Amino acid sequence: MVGILTIGILSLQGAISEHRQSITKTLEKAKIKGTVLLVRSPKDINEIDGLIIPGGESTTIARILVQSGLYDTLRQRIQEGKLPIMGTCAGCVLLAKEMVENRENVPLLCAMDMCVKRNAFGRQKESFEKALSFSEFTEEYQAVFIRAPVITKVWGKCHILATLDQKIVAARHDQFLALSFHPELTTDLRVHRYFVKMIL
């Protein structure tokens, strides 16, 4: 990576501004020259060094991805192995190769050797915070869960980074990072810092 780092945030739905603030602060604290691009069209994908897929409703996001042409462009970059991606909540779902009970035939990005289950922790009113042991951090991470999915299994190159009550809530597969929780809703920047290091 040479020059200015450009990190894209898929800007179709979800906590876009919160991710933008978190990644901007992360770059500033690390003294890394970088900028944030709000990704809304296929041409934006070729302008970025890494991508964040925020939470939201996975079915809606997937539908817009396909309709906008973003889905095919993303799949191509994923297959080329040239685009680090962090998916949070719905983004975690979309990065998977398999989904439990995919009745709506949600088109997945198939980036990671894992299977996910949507809304595994209940509805929005059952949202909660929990301290996690994250394998890449020396101290516990206070994670925010909102209608969170879980990763039901991993295989191949995908490995577990964090669990909650024996349920997988964070995993990594090469340059792809999947999180059941919302790191953008906390002041702890360690997850965003970890993703930036994956890009560099």
Which pair of tokens denotes residue 74?
A: 């993303």
Residue 158 catalytic?
A: no
Annotate 23-41 with DSSP letters as a single string: HHHHHHHTT--EEEEEE-S
Cα–Cα dist 91/109, whole Å? 10
Residue 184 catalytic?
A: yes
Which of 89, 92, 115, 158 is flagged as catalytic?
89
Which pair of tokens denotes residue 75?
A: 């799949």
Residue 76 near residue 114, CB atoms below 8 Å: no
Which pair of tokens denotes residue 85?
A: 């991606």
If DSSP codes are grouped into helix, strand and coil, which group holds residue 14? coil
Which of 92, 173, 184, 192 is flagged as catalytic?
184
Annotate 86-136 with DSSP letters as a single string: EEETHHHHHHEEEETT-TT-------EEEEEETTTT-SGGG-EEEEE--TT
Which of 19, 115, 173, 182 is flagged as catalytic?
182
Residue 145 near residue 181, CB atoms below 8 Å: yes
Residue 182 catalytic?
A: yes
Catalytic residue set: 89, 182, 184
